[in-house]
A and B are shown apart, each in its own frame.
Chain A
Amino acid sequence: MKLAVDFERCTGHGRCYALAPHVFDADDHGHCVLLAAEVPPAHQREARSAVLNCPEDAIAITEE
């Protein structure tokens, strides 16, 4: 699984790194940081949850 983040859209709600701490982290401003380009199977469930809960629609799954 691969994810893409639209950093223009991210405003720092922080849902992604709360719901998917193995996939996302926060920078100093509380905006999201993608930890790795490829999401391993063990973390795909939480990655999906992050996508479904981002109020700015800033995260997309680019490859299943």
Chain B
Amino acid sequence: MADREPETREVNLFSGEHAAAPQPLYRELVTKCPFARAAFSGSPVLSRYEDVLWALRHPEIFSSEMEMHMALGTERPMIPQQIDPPAQTKYRKILDPRFSKKRMLEIAPDVRRHANELIDAFLERGECEFDREFAVPLPCTAFLSLMGLPQSELPRFLRIKDMIIRPQTLLAEPTLEASQALRKDAGRQIYTFFGDLIDERRRKPGSDMVSYLLETEIDGQRLTREEILDVSFLLILAGLDTVTATLGCNIAYLAANPAQRRRLIEKPELIPAAVEELLRWETPVAAVPRVVKQEVEVHGVKLEKGTLVTLLIGASNIDEGEFSEPERVDFERERNKHLAFGGGPHRCLGSHLARLELEVAMEVWHQRIPDYRIKPGETPRYSPGIREVQYLPLVWDRA
């Protein structure tokens, strides 16, 4: 492999500086280095729109079936994210209807009420820390109501999610071993909690997700206990963190760009398109991993079976091969085929839930707090990986 490899550059996708403003690196990769290598691991990084889209659409080459040593506290692959078609297709057939746009509209009133309640708690104060007081709790409500769980479970799920997604932030000495141990511990807690929940719902079914999974069938067969656990695990990991990150990225952008914010206040009907454009520009889930399942050549480099590849969706979303004036944030963009929810068979299962939460939250927030800014003297802090704005202090004038 090495003898044929053209000059590539090594990129560190896991620094806080990059997470805060990733577009300069994206631009460089897309225009000059469509085949890069990740620092430390050396694994290939693909960034051009056409390459990323091609990889997303070809799971038979770029598989989602990761090695389990990469696991996020799981003992088996998460369903359906970490398995490929044709098995994945069968799971999507039973899960997609539960996450359709029409069904998600049913929870809009709940999301709206919760958004208002969260704002009630700090509106008069004239300031808030947006992540902790709004972006983190809001998506949890939707998750808990889908699962038919009481809102009092919120702290438990937040803690478990952090143990898995960013264990380093909870450790005094964040070594890889300690992080993996924390993830395993969280994983066991999830299996235990949902194992108990399965027993309970089997005795007393409701209209929640676990009850649905207990009664549904694939090819005439009920799902096993393990299959239900492997779906539930994914819903926790994917359902909580991603919308939190997107809310933070959106509000941080609008706080720093008052002219754009004013357009949304003057024309609230632009909010759905603004949500799409900010998903493109910010791409909070900036990268997704794939593993090469059959030998393939990319940009003149032969990739062996088993190679871990990073698809840099954030970069592909500002590729001028696909987007006109890609670095202009335009809420009236005519053509926006962004890949923030991925594409191909693994297209984000929760994309309609995410869009609903984002649109409702943006609408309620701007009705109630139209004029806000970053607290003077403070700087928002972005986490690497999934770009959560973990520290976002905002201020506004009190009425």
Q: A-side interface residues toward B, CB under 8 Å?
A: 11-14, 17-18, 26, 28-31, 49, 52-57
Contacts and interface: CB of A to CB of B under 8 A. Distances in A.
B97 A26 contact: no
Given A49-B334, A53-B337, A54-B337, A12 B272 contact: no
B384 interface: no
B335 A52 contact: yes
12 contacts: A14-B101, A14-B352, A26-B100, A26-B102, A28-B97, A52-B334, A55-B337, A55-B339, A55-B343, A55-B347, A56-B344, A57-B337
B335 A29 contact: no
A18 B101 contact: yes
Nearest to A55: B337
Contacts of B352: 14, 30
B226 interface: no
A11 B102 contact: no
Given A18-B272, A26-B102, A49-B334, A11 B97 contact: no
The secondary structure that dominates the A interface is: loop
A30 B99 contact: yes
Given A14-B101, A14-B352, A30 B96 contact: yes
A54 B341 CA distance: 12
Contacts of A53: 335-337
Chain B interface size range: 20 to 34
A25 to B, nearest CB: 9
Contacts of B57: 56
A28 B95 CA distance: 11
B351 A14 contact: yes
A28 B272 contact: no
A56 to B, nearest CB: 6
A26 B57 CA distance: 22
B325 to A, nearest CB: 15
Interface in B167-197: none
A30 B336 contact: no
Contact of B347 (A12, A18, A28, A57): A12
Contacts of A29: 93, 96-97, 100
Interface string B54-82: 00010000000000000000000000000
